[in-house]
Chains A and B, each alone.
Chain A
Amino acid sequence: MSTATIKPPANDRANAPRRPVYLDYQATTPMDPRVLEAMMPYFTEKFGNPHSRNHEYGWEAEEGVEKARAQIAELIAADEREIVFTSGATESNNLAIAGVAHFYKDQRDHIVTLVTEHKCVLDTCRHLEQEGFKVTYLPVKPDGLVDLAELDRAITDRTVLVSIMAANNEIGVIQPLAQIGALCRAKGAFFHTDCAQAYGKIPLDVDAMKIDLMSISGHKIYGPKGIGALFVRRKPRVRLQALIHGGGQERGMRSGTLPTPLCVGLGRAAEIAKNEMATESARLLKLRERFLKTVNEKLPEVFLNGDLSNRLPGNLNLSFAYVEGEGLMMGIKDLCVSSGSACTSASLEPSYVLRALGVEEELAHTSLRIGFGRFTTEAEVDYAAERIVQAVSKLRSMSPLWEMAQEGIDIKSIQWAAH
């Protein structure tokens, strides 16, 4: 099939070399130029150490940091004193889970989490298990959501922490945070939620949702890389054992000189997200519908992984049956997406998140994660949909599995030799 009929969208800059269309906004986002603008003075002129209490350079840096802290808190209806800066959501998740577990270890020793959590949550839990903590890894329903009755049964009077992500990084499904928070509060367990994907994308309210700890990432919300935050509730107070020791910054929970420009950038990114969330969500939903309509009209046997209605507006995760995901990505190399096929990794195992939904291995290998974001245009979405339709059609015509399906042969009836 020829590519000549599909024209890529115009470049914003004339004569600039054409770059691939970026549709991987759950991996990371470009920084918003308004964020960069806010950060710039803090690299050169306002370079002071925000912890220097005795001179103007310190004061102006501190002012920048504290304004950012307030901006970050405001987006989730928290108090600025409840925000601890970290290096990113991985550190925030480590600090929240290990920090709470260690501090309260003499009272409670059990943690509840989901099998579909991010690796940094799961890996932290594995380490705690080695120290003697007990961890329950709850399965999810086929739509990717937690079963609340099952969660209720899992929380005991030994449970110190429940860690459940707000929105999943692969399939974008949004967990029922308010119900989870209510369950945890009723049973006296702290509720930690990894909001790396959700913060700034969907409305979050730490009081209404009874969230005790929340992990936040900078680079997922058009802010800088290398900065994140952890919300730690003051009333009722949550206490943590620090992971990083030193000068006692961040109320002793995270020592180290704060990177002022990065803090300022995260603050500004949070402020923009707050102001533009409603219009941006609506725009992304329209783009997603437009994309899905084209793909579904032109391709049979495309399956959506994860619930559609409880989902980040910019996320899609689709299985294109009979076409292997990595091969498909090579066929659409002018689109940047990510694949649930694990051919990209050395393990040869497909995505553990898709497997947890009960998606069969052969279908998990055919999946793509497609992420739209702030700078995605309608022209890019149209181009991407057409390119994917074209590549899937071509690869299906080359697929022995597609051929068998067309001949009515049940692929499951064949004795495959695993290799």
Chain B
Amino acid sequence: MAYSEKLVDHFENPRNVGALDKNDPGVGTGLVGAPACGDVMKLQIKVNAEGIIEDAKFKTFGCGSAIASSSLVTEWVKGKTVDEAATIKNTDIAKHLALPPVKIHCSVLAEDAIKAAIEDYRKKRV
């Protein structure tokens, strides 16, 4: 099974690995997946006063496709409004990384991670 260049690049040079302060009111944290299933993603977004995502960080336990998918979405959400970020589709992630069929669930998990981070951020706002 050969992986695409983009996928390998994201795996070998992951973007935005790290953590943001989860207690910061502007930070939304999403934690999805399960260790028993072999993948867990933690995605965090930092939203500024204008509602723009100015920073994103991730940590992922999982296969190369899971790590690459989460690395990619941290790049994609940066600079977007929260509403725009919420429209990112797993199919776009899978297409961009040319994920093989058995790895589609990794892109689904990455989409879930964005949604979970946004939900957490919105909860903090109300």
Q: Which residues of A contact B (CB under 8 A)?
A: 322-324, 326-327, 330-331, 341-343, 346, 348, 350, 360-362, 365, 397-403, 411, 414, 416-419
Contact indicator B34/A417 (Cβ below 8 Å): yes
Q: Closest Cβ of chain A: how far from B109's Cβ, in Å?
A: 7
State whether A397 and B63 are in contact (beta carbons under 8 Å apart), knowing that A348-B38, A417-B34 are contacts in the complex.
no
Contact indicator A419/B33 (Cβ below 8 Å): yes
Q: Closest Cβ of chain A: how far from B11's Cβ, in Å?
A: 6
B70-87 at interface with A (beta carbon < 8 Å) = none
State whether A399 and B63 are in contact (beta carbons under 8 Å apart), knowing that A350-B38, A419-B37 are contacts in the complex.
no
Contact indicator B37/A401 (Cβ below 8 Å): no
In chain B, what residue has the closest Cβ to A343? B63
Contact indicator A346/B41 (Cβ below 8 Å): no
Q: Which residues of B contact A (CB under 8 A)?
A: 3, 11, 14, 17, 19, 31-42, 59-64, 66-67, 102, 105, 108-109, 112
Q: Which residues of A contact B14 (CB under 8 A)?
A: 398
CA distance A194 to B38 in the complex (A): 31
Among B19, B61, B105, the residue within 8 A (CB) of A324 is B61
Q: Which residues of A contact B61 (CB under 8 A)?
A: 322-324, 327, 399-402
Contact indicator A400/B37 (Cβ below 8 Å): no
State whether A327 and B62 are in contact (beta carbons under 8 Å apart), knowing that A397-B17, A398-B67 are contacts in the complex.
yes
Q: What would be 20 A-B contacts, judged by CB atoms less than 8 Å apart?
A: A324-B63, A324-B66, A330-B3, A330-B11, A330-B64, A360-B36, A361-B35, A362-B36, A398-B60, A398-B67, A399-B60, A400-B42, A400-B60, A401-B35, A401-B40, A416-B33, A416-B37, A417-B33, A417-B34, A419-B108
Q: Closest Cβ of chain B: how far from A2's Cβ, in Å?
A: 12
In chain A, what residue has the closest Cβ to B31? A400
Q: Which residues of B contact A343 (CB under 8 A)?
A: 38-39, 62-63
State whether A327 and B36 are in contact (beta carbons under 8 Å apart), knowing that A397-B17, A398-B17, A419-B109 are contacts in the complex.
no
